[in-house]
Amino acid sequence: MEANKKVSIVIPVYKAADTITRCVESLENNTYKNLQIILVEDCSGDQTIGVCRKLADMYDNVLCVENDQNHGVSYTRNHGLDYAEGTYLMFVDSDDYVVEDYVETMVTAVSDTEDEK
């Protein structure tokens, strides 16, 4: 497994003030550390954007992006791709949280597949 390859994780965020912190913290606590977490806030109209900004201030690898208007989840995911810098790309929903080896397991699976070629 190549631990030096960055993984960009795009998270579309809409009315997730109560769940986004747990989501981001579960990714921050992962065993795989070379992560870029992209929060794309889709004009929730509540305190969600403030929570996203706070998370971006708290963690150097978290980016908070705001849509110009509410566009829905598909547009929001695609908008996050514009900011992705990683070799690998993952999507997580804002109300999800992951186990501590989630990213490492995925990177290992992809690396093993690449090694077979």
Q: Each residue's pLDDT tens digit in the chain (117 positions)?
A: 555 899 999 999 999 999 999 999 999 999 999 999 999 999 999 999 999 999 999 999 999 999 999 999 999 999 999 999 999 999 999 999 999 999 999 999 998 776 555
Q: From CA 42, how far away is CA 91, in angstroms rounded?
A: 15
Give strand ranges (E) for the chain: 7-13, 35-41, 62-66, 88-91
Tell me the CATH number for domain 7-116.
3.90.550.10
Answer yes or no: pTM beyond 0.75: yes
Residue 30 tokens read as 């992962």
Locate the domains of the chain by residue range.
7-116
Q: Name residue 90's beta-bridge partners.
A: 9
Q: From CA 84, how far away is CA 65, in angstroms rounded?
A: 11
